[in-house]
C-alpha cells in the first residue's frame, strides 16, 4: 500500500468516524429540531388529511405520512432500525414491549400543554404509569356489527356468529389479540390468557368459525358491511358507527361475553430525528377543536374530554358504553413469551 493510499484510507476512516459520531449525537439529542419536517407512522384511516393540512399551514412543517395495519407491522418496521419516523401510535400493551426494548424517547410534557385536556382515567396506564413515554390518542372496542335486513335471528353474543346462517358472511378484524381475545372471552377465559391449553381451545373455536369468515380486514371492515356483501362482523366500534351512517340497517351489538378494549397512544421513537416537531404535533392534535374534528371523521372513543364536549349529541351517544358493559370488558396487556403462541395460532387459522 502506498503512502497516498494509506493517507486517503485514513481520511476516509476519519470522515466516516466523524459522521458516525454526528449521527449518534443527533439521535441522543432528538436530531435536527430546527428542520421543518415530521415523519409520521400511523394506523390507516385514523387521522383526517384536513388536520395534517392545518398543521402544515400553521407551522410550516412538512408532514410525511405512512400507515400500517397492525401493531405487529409497526413494531417490526421500527425494530429493524433506521426507520426515520418521528412519531407513531401504539396500543398500550405494545408500549410495554417497546419500553422494555428501549425503543422509545421520553416525551417532554412542557412542550405539550394541551395534555391537560386528557381525562385522568386514560393516564397512568399499566404500561407507562408515570406517563413518561406516551400520550393518549384514542380508545375503543371490538364490537359485533349486524345488518338486520339480512339476518333472521337476534345476535347478542360471539357464540351467535357460529350459526350456519353466517357461512361465508362475516368480516373479522385482522388483529390477532382482538380476535383470539374474543374467543377466549366466549370460553370464559381472560382475554390475556397465557395458558397453552386455553389458547389451544381458542384456536379450535376460531377454526370452527373459519367457514363463516369471508374476509379478515382491519383497515376498512365497514366496506363489506355497507355493501351487503357480508351479514355481520367483529369490527372496530368506530367502523360500526360509520357503517350505520351509510346503511341504517347496520346495528352495533355489545357481545354478552364482554368487549375487547384498547387504547392507542402517541409515542416517539428513541432515534426520532425531529423530536420537538413530534411534540408540537401532539400538542396540536390535543387542541379540543382539532381532536373534535378527528372524532367527527373517525368516531372512536376520545380521551380528550374537552373535545368530547364539542361533539354533536348523536356522535357523543355513539361513543357511550354502559358501565356494566365496560366492567365486563378487558384491555389487552403484554402477554410476554405467549405472544409467540398467539402469533402461531393466527397464522394457522388464516392459512387453514
Known binding-site residues for spermidine equal 45, 93
Give the Cα separation of 246 and 172 in Å (integer): 19
Residue found by looking up cell 500500500 in the block: 1
Enumerate the known binding-site residues: 45, 93
Across the chain, where does the E strand assignment appear?
Answer: 37-43, 62-68, 87-91, 135-147, 170-172, 213-216, 232-236, 250-253, 260-267, 330-331
| Contact criterion met (CB below 8 Å) for 164 and 256 | no
Q: What is the C-alpha to C-alpha distance for residues 11 and 57, in angstroms, rounded to an integer? A: 44
CA distances from 204 to 171, 174, 183, 207, 352 (A): 19, 17, 9, 5, 11
Return the closest-CA partner of residue 38 out of 19, 65, 14.
65
Q: Which residues contact 258 (CB under 8 A, 6 or more apart)?
A: 185, 191, 328, 329, 330
| Lookup result for grid cell 378487558 | 330
Residue whose cell numbers read 350505520: 244
DSSP 352: -
Round to whole Å and give the CA distance between 116 and 272: 24
Distance separating alpha carbons of residues 296 and 54, to the nearest angstrom: 16
Amino acid at each position: 500500500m502506498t503512502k497516498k493510499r494509506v493517507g486517503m484510507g485514513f481520511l476516509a476512516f476519519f470522515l466516516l468516524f466523524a459522521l458516525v459520531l454526528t449521527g449518534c449525537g443527533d439521535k441522543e439529542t432528538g436530531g435536527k429540531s430546527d428542520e421543518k419536517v415530521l415523519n409520521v407512522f400511523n394506523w390507516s384511516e385514523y387521522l383526517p388529511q384536513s388536520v395534517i393540512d392545518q398543521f402544515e399551514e400553521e407551522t410550516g412543517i412538512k408532514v410525511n405520512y405512512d400507515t400500517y395495519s397492525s401493531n405487529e407491522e409497526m413494531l417490526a418496521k421500527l425494530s429493524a432500525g433506521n426507520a426515520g419516523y418521528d412519531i407513531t401510535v401504539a396500543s398500550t400493551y405494545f408500549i410495554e414491549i417497546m419500553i422494555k426494548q428501549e425503543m422509545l424517547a421520553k416525551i417532554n410534557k412542557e412542550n405539550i400543554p394541551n395534555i391537560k385536556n386528557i381525562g385522568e382515567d386514560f393516564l397512568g396506564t399499566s404500561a407507562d404509569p408515570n406517563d413518561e413515554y406516551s400520550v393518549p390518542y384514542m380508545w375503543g372496542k371490538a364490537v359485533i356489527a349486524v345488518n338486520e335486513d339480512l339476518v333472521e335471528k337476534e345476535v347478542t353474543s360471539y357464540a351467535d356468529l357460529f350459526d350456519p346462517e353466517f357461512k361465508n358472511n362475516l368480516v373479522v378484524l385482522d388483529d390477532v389479540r382482538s380476535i383470539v381475545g374474543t374467543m377466549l372471552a366466549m370460553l370464559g377465559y381472560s382475554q390475556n390468557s397465557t395458558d397453552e391449553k386455553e389458547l389451544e381451545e381458542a384456536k379450535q373455536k376460531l377454526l370452527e368459525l373459519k367457514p363463516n369468515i369471508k374476509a379478515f380486514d382491519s383497515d376498512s371492515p365497514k366496506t363489506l358491511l355497507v355493501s351487503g356483501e357480508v351479514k355481520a362482523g367483529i369490527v372496530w366500534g368506530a367502523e360500526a358507527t360509520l357503517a350505520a351512517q351509510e346503511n341504517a340497517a347496520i346495528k352495533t351489538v355489545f357481545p354478552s361475553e364482554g368487549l375487547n378494549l384498547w387504547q392507542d397512544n402517541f409515542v416517539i421513537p428513541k432515534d426520532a430525528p425531529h423530536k420537538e416537531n413530534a411534540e408540537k404535533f401532539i400538542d396540536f392534535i390535543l387542541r379540543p377543536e382539532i381532536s373534535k374534528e378527528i372524532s367527527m371523521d373517525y368516531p372512536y372513543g376520545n380521551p380528550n374530554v374537552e373535545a368530547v364536549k364539542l361533539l354533536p349529541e348523536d356522535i357523543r351517544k355513539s361513543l357511550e358504553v354502559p358501565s356494566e358493559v365496560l366492567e365486563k370488558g378487558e384491555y389487552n396487556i403484554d402477554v410476554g413469551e405467549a405472544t409467540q403462541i398467539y402469533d402461531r395460532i393466527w397464522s394457522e387459522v388464516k392459512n387453514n
